[in-house]
Amino acid sequence: MKYHTTNTPARREHGSLRRLRMVALLAATAAAAMTAVGCATLPSARELDAQAAVMIKAAFRDEGIAKVDRIQQDLAQSACSSDKMPEPPTMQKIMQESMATVKWPEGGRFLGDWRQGERLAQNGRGMTWTDASADPKGNGGQCYNCHQISKTELSYGSLGPSLYQYGKLRGVTDPSSPAAEPILKYTWAKIWNSNAYMACSGMPRFGHAKLLNEDQIRHVMALLLDPKSPVNAP
């Protein structure tokens, strides 16, 4: 097992987290004292939140490319970490901030090669602690893990909606036409940062989190939107 001596979690710990740990420690001490005098009660929901944050932080260590900074949450993650959806204003904020992260394709070139897109859709590899590099070049798009896409691949997941006939159902007959532009832009932004249209989306933020590079996203776009792609077979 590897232990990384540089850049330890403690050194990287923010003041806020240190405070959080203090609160949890105090809460735990109080809970222990109450148990001792026989009036044990469950800590409040807020105290439990703080204790859970400390517990989660304490549990993980770096391994390969998967460093502990991966559990430092941004708003889209922290606000979507319960069995309830966040309040509407928070959801609005997440969607606005997410839309602002979208990097549009250079020269307005939205589509690549659907054949390469199919290969990326099939490939579920990348970003685990057993992968050598976090460079998107080595990553798959993981699409079939959750979506039906082409009709020929029967081994598809069902966590996401079916994408079979994606472009055809949306009336994309000529991707270079002005009529197709809104759906091209919508799809690009959805793949780049899924939270732009739905806060707490279950889909990874492929562009924003650097899971796929621009060229790879073009290929996946082509798989969905190129009229010649088997996804849009007549």
Residue type (1 letter), 21:
R
Nearer to other proteins, 49 or 113 (CB): 49
Q: How far is residue 193's CA from residue 202's CA, in Å, rounded to a whole number?
A: 11
The token duo for 39 is: 């009036």
How open is the CA angle 218-204-161, to the nearest 5 degrees?
80
Nearer to other proteins, 103 or 228 (CB): 103
Nearer to other proteins, 29 or 82 (CB): 82
Q: Least distance (Å) from other proteins to the CB of residue 40?
A: 4
Q: Least distance (Å) from other proteins to the CB of residue 9?
A: 10
User: Would you state the torsion angle of the CA atoms of residues 27, 45, 67, 80, taken in this order, to the nearest 10 degrees?
Assistant: -160
Q: Which residues in this chain contact other proteins in the complex, by CB under 8 A? A: 1, 31, 35, 40-43, 48-49, 51-52, 55-56, 58-63, 66-68, 70-73, 76-78, 80-83, 124, 127-130, 134, 144-146, 154-159, 202, 204-205, 209-211
CA atoms within 13 A on the CB side of 69: 7
Nearer to other proteins, 61 or 168 (CB): 61
Q: How far is residue 88's CA from residue 12's CA, in Å, rounded to a whole number?
A: 33
Q: Least distance (Å) from other proteins to the CB of residue 171?
A: 30
Q: Least distance (Å) from other proteins to the CB of residue 117?
A: 18
Nearer to other proteins, 4 or 19 (CB): 4
Q: Are 32 and 51 in contact (CB under 8 A)?
A: no
Q: Least distance (Å) from other proteins to the CB of residue 173?
A: 32
- Using DSSP's 3-state secondary structure scheme, residue 91 falls into helix
Q: How far is residue 144's CA from residue 159's CA, in Å, rounded to a whole number?
A: 10
